C-alpha cells in the first residue's frame, strides 16, 4: 500500500515513537508495582500534581498500547517483515 511508503508514514512512526517513550515513562512513574517507582511514588503522593497524574494511570495503559500497536503496524508496513 502506498500509505506505508509515504513521508507521512515516516513522520507518524517518529511521532508515535516519542509518544511511546513519554507514555511509557508516565506509566512507570505512576505504577506502584515497580519497586523503585513505589519508593519514589510514596514521596511524591503528597503533591497535588502527582495525585492528578496518578489518577490517570488506568487511562495511560490503553493509550500506550494503542500507540504501540499503530507504531508497530506502520513500522512493519514501511520497513517490511524482517523475517
- Tell me the three state secondary structure of residue 33: coil
Residues with Cβ within 8 Å of residue 75, at least 6 apart in sequence:
13
Digit-coded pLDDT (tens) for 24-82: 999 988 887 776 677 777 788 888 988 888 888 899 999 999 999 999 999 998 888 87
CA 72 – CA 75 distance, rounded (Å): 5
3-state helix, strand and coil shares in percent for the chain, rounded to the nearest 5? 85, 0, 15
Confidence of residue 1 (pLDDT cuts 50, 70, 90): low
- Structurally, the chain folds into a number of domains equal to 1
Helix axes 7-30, 48-55, angle to 10 degrees: 120
CA 50 – CA 36 distance, rounded (Å): 16
For residue 62, what are the domain limits? 2-79
Amino acid at each position: 500500500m502506498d500509505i506505508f511508503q509515504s513521508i507521512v508514514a515516516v513522520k507518524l512512526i517518529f511521532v508515535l515513537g516519542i509518544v511511546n517513550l513519554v507514555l511509557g515513562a508516565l506509566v512507570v512513574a505512576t505504577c506502584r508495582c515497580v519497586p523503585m517507582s513505589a519508593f519514589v511514588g510514596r514521596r511524591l503522593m503528597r503533591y497535588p500534581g502527582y495525585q492528578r497524574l496518578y489518577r490517570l494511570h488506568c487511562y495511560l495503559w490503553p493509550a500506550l498500547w494503542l500507540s504501540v500497536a499503530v507504531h508497530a503496524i506502520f513500522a512493519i508496513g514501511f520497513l517490511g517483515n524482517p523475517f
